[in-house]
Amino acid sequence: MLGDQLSEAMAALRAADPVADVVVMAEVMAEASYVPHHPKKIAFTFAAMRKFAARLRGQGWTVAYTRLDDPGNAGSIGAELLRRAAEHGAGEALATEPGEWRLIAQLQDLPLLVRILPDDRFLASHAEFDRWAAGKTQLRMEYFYREMRRKTGLLMEDGEPAGGQWNYDHENRKPAPGAVDYAGPLRFEPDAVVEEVLALVEARFGANFGRLRPFWFATDATQAQAHFAQWLDGGLPRFGDYQDAMLRDEPFMYHAVIGVYLNAGLLDPRAVCDAVEAAWRAGRVPINAAEGFIRQIIGWREYVRGIYFREGPSYVTRNALGHCRDLPAMFWGAPTSMACVAATVAQTRDEAYAHHIQRLMITGNFALLAGIEPAQVHEWYLAVYADAYEWVEAPNVIGMSQFADGGILASKPYVSSGNYIDRMSDYCGSCAYKVKVKTGPGACPFNLLYWHFLDRHRERFGANPRMGQMYATWDRMDAGKRALIVAEAGAWLGRMEAGEGV
């Protein structure tokens, strides 16, 4: 059982025999270092693994658990499985399908029979997603989502969507409120198990990007449920309204901060949706909040997983726009004058968390406009967020955010100038750049890079009907201004590449 399979409902556990079989779990260097994970992510994984192993033992299972610093640790999942199989004389292993091609291949290539069972924590099986996708020229999330609504019956009334509409996204774009009247995620004091893990992570991974302390994550299912229950009461009612808003001093806004728990198995996706639907039926939250949340889980979450497994292992190497700049040091905390990027990176360093619109419209938007190599962007996201596993991270980064898959997920690139950031956040007020300035001293880099991006990719996007208005605006500018913008953007990128302060 892997570090993101911490649930009694895992298929491999259901198929196993508590009397005859041994559960194998291992903290291994290969998993802890395939990217330079945020120390909070490693600590969460190890602490939650240790507590889950103890829970299984309490239920009568025999668990062969290897700690990172155990002398016999063989270093990788495959090697540990072989070591334990030899130790217990096992001729066969059962696994639930890992969420990454790399690990699936590792299990399949072992000199041991490993029976890999589907991960049925998800609503849609691979076959079901592929059936839905077959023959379609465009894989629109919205239509997949409607299938999932019908399948689950969530927010459905007599076969029709509750409230009369499938999607209330248009009500979920309110700009940032003055203040947030929700305290944010429930924070847990580290207990002895967590403290022991924190000391290990400090010693082994203290140099990785990210602050380990204060460490406040839930590390078992009971704590994760308590956290979710608090958010249902305090956060969900305004979740829809401010889903796209950003505030410098409010890293979590009204977001649920449950990705980390859902993906590791501490919370169940269907159960959280049922609870949200019940809150709406009881009149405690508006429909745009309930629908907005349920869409993220049974729509987006399932849809990106379908894409990951449909597209195959090479998906993470795609680079449809031919971008090749290196990820600048500001992503690892080097100073930048861009207040929006600095704030998003700082909260990522502190919390191993940024909410969706920061990931998409600040760091993602910037990397796309600046032409950063998608593989480097992908590795960064996989490393720095506590909820990052390849099945969910890669389609969001390679597909949705960087358009590197050529438009499987997104029908147009998610790019914006500074205007959008100014409307949805309070970042610009404290920025050294001026969002209203388009060229010359103090011009917001998002303004320059936005036009630079559209100009250099005209051949690909010029005929895209959803981008017609952008190109029409560009074409209305006089030629001198256009040349100036392109030259200033190029010079700015040159300074960034040279490591000068930008």
Q: Cα separations (Å) of 229 from 54, 157, 258, 379, 485?
A: 24, 26, 11, 33, 50
364 touches, from ligand DLZ, ligand SF4, ligand FAD, none (C-beta below 5 to 8 Å by class): ligand FAD
Q: Cα separations (Å) of 350 from 210, 332, 385?
A: 6, 12, 11
User: Which is closer to ligand DLZ, CB of 101 or CB of 239?
Assistant: 101
431 touches, from ligand DLZ, ligand SF4, ligand FAD, none (C-beta below 5 to 8 Å by class): ligand SF4
Of 92, 112, 2, residue with least CA distance to 46:
2
d(CA 493, CA 448): 10
Beta bridge partners of 157: 160
User: Which tokens belong to 404?
Assistant: 């590197």
Q: Per rule CB under 6 A, is residue 78 in the interface with ligand DLZ?
A: no
445 touches, from ligand SF4, ligand FAD, ligand DLZ, none (C-beta below 5 to 8 Å by class): ligand SF4
What is the DSSP track for 81-108?
Answer: HHHHHHHHT-SEEEEEPPSSHHHHHHHH
d(CA 315, CA 378): 11
d(CA 388, CA 54): 25
Which residues in 247-266 contact ligand FAD (CB under 6 A)? 255-259, 262-263
User: Which tokens belong to 82?
Assistant: 């072989």
Which residues in 93-122 contact ligand DLZ (CB under 6 A)? 98-100, 103
Q: Per rule CB under 6 A, is residue 285 in the interface with ligand FAD?
A: no
Distance of closest approach, residue 292 Cβ to ligand FAD, in angstroms: 9
DSSP tally for the chain: helices H, then strands E: 24, 6
Q: Per rule CB under 6 A, is residue 445 in the interface with ligand SF4?
A: yes
Q: Per rule CB under 6 A, is residue 31 in the interface with ligand DLZ?
A: yes
Q: Which residues of 304-331 are buried (b: 16+ CB within 10 A; e: fewer)?
A: bbbbbbbbeeebbebbbbebeeebbebb
Q: Which range touches ligand SF4 (CB under 6 A), out of 11-19, 105-113, 397-405, 439-447?
A: 439-447
214 prior amide bond cis, ω within 30: yes
Distance of closest approach, residue 7 Cβ to ligand DLZ, in angstroms: 13
Q: Which range touches ligand SF4 (CB under 6 A), out of 86-94, 124-132, 217-225, 420-428?
A: 420-428
Which residues in 355-414 contact ligand DLZ (CB under 6 A)? 389
Any idea what DSSP says for residue 425?
B
Member of 49, 94, 360, 368 binding ligand FAD (CB under 6 A): 360
Q: Per rule CB under 6 A, is residue 201 in the interface with ligand FAD?
A: no
Q: Which range touches ligand DLZ (CB under 6 A), out of 92-100, 120-128, 132-140, 224-232?
A: 92-100
Q: Per rule CB under 6 A, is residue 393 in the interface with ligand FAD?
A: yes
Of 142, 144, 162, residue with least CA distance to 154:
162
Query: What residues make contact with ligand SF4 under the rule CB under 6 A?
Result: 338-340, 418, 421-422, 427-428, 431, 433, 435, 444-446
Query: What residues make contact with ligand FAD under the rule CB under 6 A?
Result: 255-259, 262-263, 296-297, 300-301, 304, 355-356, 359-360, 364, 381, 385, 387-388, 392-393, 396-397, 400-401
